[in-house]
Structure 1
Amino acid sequence: MNGTSQTGRDDGGRDRDAGGRARNARPRDGLGRPLPYGSPGVERQPEGVVRTPGRSVSEAQALLAAGRPFHAHEVFEDAWKSGPDEERELWRGLAQLAVGLTHAARGNATGGARLLRRGADAVEEWAARTGRTRPHDLDLPGVRAWARELAGTVEQAQGPVDAAAVAPRLRG
């Protein structure tokens, strides 16, 4: 396997996939935090999946509602990387929102609020530039308002937020 052991680690101790690309094989919890090797973790989102925009929104919504924003971020990232150039900033902004919620759920108020606002700004700028506020049935005004309100809440919180309880509704 080109210097890769059967465990998926190369001779330098780095995780690799079957194609030799760097991939962290450690199990992760529902918020994407790495767990020790051999620990039970949640099933990870496959990377590099090309989905229709509607399927991306539906899968991300289900993951957000289940309190798994890190995994929703992976779905948005796939859309960002595989979608048309004119939509990349939209998907990148949505990915930032999911990462912001991930940080907030992990108790990182500063990072969570910052990424929620950055994602809201990116989505707003994309909508203003394209004149589209409901691409793929997304409720961009509602998502932006959710992100900005949650950013303020996160800054005032005394601990992590419940990701499932505060998850956005992507479609209005």
Structure 2
Amino acid sequence: MSSHSPITAHELADQLAARDVTVIDVREPMEYVGGHIAGSLNIPLSRITEADLPQGPLVLVCQSGNRSAKALALLQQLGRQHPLTDLPGGVPAWQQAGFPVRKLKGAPLPLMRQVQIAAGTLVLLGVILSQAVAPGWIWLSGFVGAGLTFAGISGFCGMARLLAVMPWNRVSM
């Protein structure tokens, strides 16, 4: 494994089988329990520079490749001496190559699915209440639509942040 060039899912599978690398999953624990490469360690991006990382070659993974690329850059800035690379496309690339992921029992639904369920329910509730109770309830649907539009434009989703701290989304590892 070269020190900084990306690795493919097939190359990673071969190196894992040979026990030549350690996979570090830089997603949040809630994402990790929902499906991860078997044997990977979960060290979120927010803690990667403080973590006591294993010696030897590391492959960083996330959901899309963005966070693992950021983690890679941070570790390179710190001058990590051991070989270091990431998996472009993240865990989905691993799955698309035909490799399985390990899911922990009782893992919460992915956060974006929770947002879709909550937003859809609130929009539907606003429409129903505007017809059955009072016309002003339609503003609930408008408020949710405005929030989703803002989230899409800004990249900040208040509903996702709120759902992430709910008790059913707390995972202990």
User: TM-score if structure 2 supplies the norm length?
Assistant: 0.25
User: TM-score if structure 1 supplies the norm length?
Assistant: 0.25
Structure of greater Rg: 2
Instruction: Give the structure, 1 or 2, with the largest relative contact order (CA under 8 Å, sep 6 or more).
Output: 2
